[in-house]
Amino acid sequence: MFFEIAIDMAVDDHAFTLDFSSDAKLTALVGPSGVGKTSSLNAIAGLLRPRSGRIVVDGQVLFDSAGGVDLPPEKRRAGYVFQDARLFPHKRVAANLAYGERLAPAGASIVTRDEVARLLEISHLLDRLPATLSGGEARRVAIGRALLCAPRFLLLDEPLASLDEDRAETLLTLMERLRDELSLPMLLVSHSSAEVHRLAGRVVKLA
């Protein structure tokens, strides 16, 4: 089982629960704005603490309120791709990718920088600064940096948001390739039913 999540959360006076298990390589978390999708990703990554519950990813317990387990974010090894990419603006693409490599534990790498450049088709961007990238290019670089930190799983928060149709299609195709070529559990937050239908093997609804 890739994801086994049962948590009770309270964020900014909004309380909600998330309870699901999934053996799909890519699981989608869907629902209207404000129901707690991004907060759920933050809890799984270790950036927010649930009030109670249990988080298990690919067999490893990351959080268990009853058992007193609460691994810090760096021990959880989540590759987190945020909506706004969050690249270092003063570093070129190659340096942004190198930052991800430096975060990887020794001997734990799952892909090389050359493989990431091929998978995500960003070889021609390596000398560029983030300010010169399109939204789709920046998201691809952010995914590449996340992969190079040797994550145990990927969290993707609205990776296609605000992209035009052509750029969204390019990124969708690349995400299919990641799903099919890498043995890496992925949890996707999305508002797009077409995106979810195309990518997800399991869909979880938050209401």
Q: Identify the CATH number of the domain in which residue 200 sits.
A: 3.40.50.300
Q: What is the pLDDT of residues 104-163, one digit of tens each?
A: 988 888 889 999 898 888 999 999 999 999 988 999 999 999 999 999 999 999 988 888
The range of the structural domain enclosing residue 199 comes to 3-205
Q: What is the pLDDT of residues 32-88, one digit of tens each?
A: 998 999 999 999 999 999 999 999 999 999 999 999 999 999 999 999 999 888 999
Q: What is the pLDDT confidence band of residue 31, given thresholds at 50, 70 and 90?
A: very high
Instruction: Report the domain count for the chain.
Output: 1
Q: Judge contact between 8 and 53, C-beta under 8 A.
A: yes
How many CA atoms, within 13 angstroms, populate the side-chain half-sphere of residue 177? 16
What pTM, to 2 d.p., does this model score? Answer: 0.92
Q: Judge contact between 127 and 52, C-beta under 8 A.
A: no
Residue 88: per-residue pLDDT: 95
Q: Judge contact between 24 and 2, C-beta under 8 A.
A: yes
Nearest alpha carbon to residue 158 among 88, 100, 84: 84
Cβ atoms within 10 Å, residue 32: 10
